[in-house]
């Protein structure tokens, strides 16, 4: 026979076991929702890729409008997609400068957007990693420096020697004015700052959790 103290201790132990079993049953009924424990690299890489299309489209539109304005000022007709023609000299050589219409330019535009998607990943990763609490102006400054750095590396660090080596000419560096190339990259970067909030990760919260 157990005395009173032993019965109370036994009863407390049983109550504790019941509470533990109830908690385990409740946990089994409530689905576990995965959430990142640190910096969500994969998510920002994907959203950056998507947002990069906006940056590339804005950059291309800026160049098209600028090309039309430049043609009007100089009084000389110029293909609005002149930038695409010049960029296509990398895979096609000098022949690309003679292509004024057709599916080739359409493919060139797609390649331009695709390149923007790749750079969008880099820009979004940099913004989310290093400027999560920065102001809009601070992000604009960071992206401006990054955009100009990308331009300098692309044009004078890579294309200035790689295109002549592969295709026998340096059309991209020679044909695209430096200020046009710089502004094109800046417009891309500035657009990424504008659309930056669209790519932020916000955990989903069911109404029960919000309540």
pLDDT at 195: 96
pLDDT, residue 73, reads 62
Q: What is this structure's pTM?
A: 0.79
**Per-residue pLDDT tens over the stretch 106-153:** 899 999 999 999 999 999 999 999 999 999 999 999 999 999 999 999
Q: How far apart are CA 49 and CA 192, in angstroms?
A: 11
Mean pLDDT of the region 56-73? 82
Can you give the residue ranges of every domain in the chain?
Answer: 41-199
Q: Is 211's pLDDT higher than 50?
A: no
Q: How sure is the predictor about 162, in pLDDT bands with cuts at 50, 70 and 90? A: very high
Exposed, middle or buried: residue 181 (CB in 10 Å: 0-12, 13-18, 19+)? buried
- Mean per-residue pLDDT for 57-83? 79
Q: What share of the chain is helix, strand, coil (3-state, %, to 5)?
A: 80, 0, 20
* Residues 71-105: tens digit of each pLDDT: 666 666 777 888 888 899 998 888 888 887 778 88
Cα–Cα dist 171/89, whole Å: 7
């Amino acid at each position: 026979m157990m005395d009173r103290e032993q019965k109370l201790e036994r009863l407390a132990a049983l109550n504790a076991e019941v509470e533990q079993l109830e908690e385990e049953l409740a946990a089994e009924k409530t689905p576990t929702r995965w959430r990142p424990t640190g910096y969500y690299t994969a998510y920002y890489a994907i959203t950056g890729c998507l947002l990069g299309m906006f940056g590339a489209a804005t950059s291309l539109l800026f160049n098209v409008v600028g090309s039309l304005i430049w043609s009007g000022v100089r009084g000389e007709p110029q293909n609005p997609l002149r930038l695409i023609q010049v960029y296509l000299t990398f895979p096609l050589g000098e022949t690309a400068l003679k292509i004024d219409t057709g599916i080739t330019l359409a493919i060139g535009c797609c390649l331009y957007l695709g390149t923007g998607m790749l750079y969008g990943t880099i820009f979004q990763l940099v913004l989310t990693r290093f400027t999560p609490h920065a102001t809009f102006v601070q992000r604009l400054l960071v992206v401006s420096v990054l955009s100009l750095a990308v331009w300098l590396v692309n044009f004078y660090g890579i294309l200035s020697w790689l295109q002549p080596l592969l295709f026998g000419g340096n059309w991209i560096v020679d044909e695209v004015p430096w200020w046009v190339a710089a502004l094109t990259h800046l417009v891309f970067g500035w657009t990424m700052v504008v659309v930056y909030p669209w790519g932020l990760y916000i955990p989903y919260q069911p109404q029960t959790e919000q309540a």
